[in-house]
């Protein structure tokens, strides 16, 4: 073979692998109450979704194995609307490693109850950044970019901007027919705590301090605790102060709620060793922002 052709083939192979595989996720499709559709249909869907999330090149960055974002996505079919139309809920969990330790911190742990999609065994699962293909691939792509954005923000200040912008673009490209009603998951009106609202809040200038607090919490706090536990804990407390100020300006934020869904158990452990005064200070801050889950912070009120 001509040497120039060999080099061309090698360059093409390299280019195809650059930026690929940002995720190391496990996707599971659960079918507890199937009545009409064969389970094999969803077994095939599970395989396609695993390939989609893990093998799509979502960014232009190259991820080493240890940098890949780990986690799980559980898609549970709740209703068969027809032989090819389904309602589902989706549980999204993603983690990132903490510097200098074997510990992994949760970036998001969230249940989306409004996943409606059409699928048959011939349906491809593809992402095209320039167009809308179908609702299921749009939902998975949306959460891929949300996770990448949260991961980026945790390592560098506002490092998730590009990926959050891509998540917003997905929302903007959803057909109007899929945006109607609170159960669509894409509605941009009303008070629904849904996908459209989440990305709107993440990119809201009024909640930008929450994103800085995410960076301070992870990079200046957790990542430093292996070397200096007290300093890291102080940075995390400062991040909570910043978040509390943003919460006062814009209460009932879905973005802040998702933060505490992910961090409640971790915060309970981090400040369990604090002096009584610091425990009370932290508990009072958290109570302002996560009032419905104060029982999760039992070690702060002993």
Close Cβ partners of 248 (under 8 Å, ≥ 6 residues apart): 288
pLDDT at 72: 98
Torsion of CA 252, 253, 259, 262, to 10 degrees: 60
Residues β-bridged to residue 72: 26, 93
* CB distance 233 to 274 below 8 Å: yes
Measured distance CA(298)–CA(302) in Å, rounded? 7
Per-residue pLDDT of the chain in tens (302 residues, 90 and over written 9)? 444 433 334 443 433 344 458 999 999 999 998 888 999 999 999 999 999 999 999 998 888 888 899 999 999 999 999 999 999 999 999 999 999 999 999 999 999 999 999 999 998 899 999 999 999 999 999 999 999 999 999 999 999 999 999 999 999 999 988 887 666 899 877 657 899 999 999 999 999 999 999 999 999 999 999 999 999 999 999 999 999 999 999 999 999 999 999 999 999 999 999 999 999 999 999 999 999 999 999 999 88
pLDDT at 191: 59
* CB distance 29 to 49 below 8 Å: yes
Tell me if the pTM is above 0.85. yes
pLDDT at 63: 86
Strands in the chain per DSSP E: 23-30, 69-80, 85-97, 104-118
Structure tokens at 103: 């510990």
Measured distance CA(94)–CA(37) in Å, rounded? 30
Buried b (16+ CB within 10 A) or exposed e, 236-251: bbebbebbbebbeeee
pLDDT at 61: 86
Torsion of CA 171, 172, 174, 177, to 10 degrees: 120
Nearest to 32 by CA among 80, 66, 99: 80
Give Rg (Cα) of the chain. 21
Measured distance CA(121)–CA(242) in Å, rounded? 49
Q: At what angle do helices 161-173 and 195-202 cross, to 10 degrees?
A: 140
Buried b (16+ CB within 10 A) or exposed e, 124-162: ebebeeeeeeebbbbbbbbbbbbbbbbbbbbeeeebbbe
């Amino acid at each position: 073979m001509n040497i120039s052709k060999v080099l061309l083939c090698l360059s093409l192979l390299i280019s195809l692998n650059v930026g690929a595989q940002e995720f190391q996720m496990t996707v599971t499709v659960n079918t507890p109450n199937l009545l009409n559709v064969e389970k094999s249909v969803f077994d095939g869907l599970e395989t396609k979704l695993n390939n989609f999330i893990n093998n799509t090149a979502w960014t232009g960055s190259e991820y080493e194995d240890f940098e890949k974002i780990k986690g799980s996505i559980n898609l549970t079919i709740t209703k068969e609307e027809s032989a090819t139309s389904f309602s589902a809920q989706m549980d999204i969990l993603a983690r990132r490693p903490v510097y200098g330790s074997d510990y992994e911190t949760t970036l998001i742990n969230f249940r989306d109850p409004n996943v409606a999609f059409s699928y048959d065994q011939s349906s491809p699962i593809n992402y095209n950044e320039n167009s809308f293909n179908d609702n299921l691939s749009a939902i998975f792509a949306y959460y891929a970019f949300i996770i990448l954005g949260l991961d980026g923000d945790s390592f560098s200040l506002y490092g998730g901007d590009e990926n959050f912008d891509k998540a917003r673009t997905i929302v903007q490209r959803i057909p109007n027919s899929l945006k109607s009603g609170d159960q669509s998951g894409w509605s941009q009106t009303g008070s629904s705590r849904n996908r459209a609202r989440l990305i709107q809040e993440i990119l809201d200038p009024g909640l930008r301090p929450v994103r800085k607090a995410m960076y301070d919490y992870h990079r200046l706090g957790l990542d430093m605790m292996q070397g200096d536990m007290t300093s890291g804990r102080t940075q995390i407390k400062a991040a909570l102060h910043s978040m509390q100020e943003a919460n006062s300006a814009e209460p009932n934020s879905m973005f802040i709620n998702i933060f505490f869904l992910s961090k409640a158990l971790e915060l309970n452990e981090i400040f369990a060793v604090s002096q009584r005064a610091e425990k009370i200070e932290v508990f009072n801050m958290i109570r302002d922002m996560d009032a419905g889950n104060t029982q999760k912070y039992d070690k702060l009120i002993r």
